């Protein structure tokens, strides 16, 4: 059951306020595998490690965990959060997100995705896809587009 835009926005704002913390980012072409790069999955800014893990990733080691994604209006599904620390890599990603989601990933570029930890394994996720929704969400939390861009 998909909700209309105003319900989705209201639910996203209320959930973010209730949970108290979240990670959001604009979805890039690389996040949906349109660039042909070898990386797979949604990139997570290093500063957001504590939304997904209890301990920061250590260079020289990879670590991962499975999470349950609760997209508003859809059945929950499993994704994987991974820290790539071996070799030259030093980044966090969410994999298996698009494989299991009900969305056409190529159509998501430019949308705002929001991850809210309900606990260590369960995350509420919203994807805002209109300028109005995105602007209202950002304004509700006094977020800066400049800060969001730096986190990408």
Q: What is the CATH classification number for the domain harbouring 28?
A: 2.40.330.10
- Report d(CA 124, CA 16) in Å as an integer: 9
- What is the DSSP-derived secondary structure letter of residue 28? P
Per the structure, the complete domain to which residue 114 belongs is given by 5-151
Averaged pLDDT for residues 133-139? 94
- What is the DSSP-derived secondary structure letter of residue 149? H
Rounded to the nearest integer, the mean pLDDT of the chain is 89
20 to 64, 96, 123: CA distances (angstroms): 24, 26, 13
What pLDDT is stored for residue 145 in this prediction?
66
pLDDT band at 71 (very low <50, low <70, confident <90, very high): very high
- Report d(CA 32, CA 39) in Å as an integer: 10
- Kindly report the backbone phi and psi dihedral angles of residue 140, in degrees, each rounded to the nearest multiple of 5, phi listed first: -60, -25
- Kindly report the backbone phi and psi dihedral angles of residue 149, in degrees, each rounded to the nearest multiple of 5, phi listed first: -65, -40
Averaged pLDDT for residues 71-96? 93
Evaluate if residue 114 carries a pLDDT over 70. yes
| pTM for the structure as a whole | 0.90
What pLDDT is stored for residue 150 in this prediction?
47
Structural domains counted in the chain: 1
């Amino acid at each position: 059951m998909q909700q209309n835009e105003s319900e989705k926005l209201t639910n996203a704002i209320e959930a973010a306020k209730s949970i108290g913390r979240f990670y959001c980012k604009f979805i890039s072409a690389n996040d949906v595998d349109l660039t042909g790069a070898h990386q797979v999955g949604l990139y997570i800014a290093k500063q957001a490690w504590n939304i997904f893990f209890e301990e920061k990733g250590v260079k020289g080691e990879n670590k991962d965990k499975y999470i349950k994604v609760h997209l508003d209006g859809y059945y929950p599904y499993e994704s994987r959060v991974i820290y790539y620390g071996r070799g030259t890599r030093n980044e966090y990603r969410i994999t298996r997100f698009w494989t299991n989601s009900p969305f056409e990933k190529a159509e998501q570029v430019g949308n705002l995705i929001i991850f809210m930890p309900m606990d260590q394994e369960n995350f509420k996720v919203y994807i805002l896809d209109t300028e109005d929704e995105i602007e209202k969400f950002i304004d509700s939390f006094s977020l800066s587009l400049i800060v969001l861009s730096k986190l990408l």
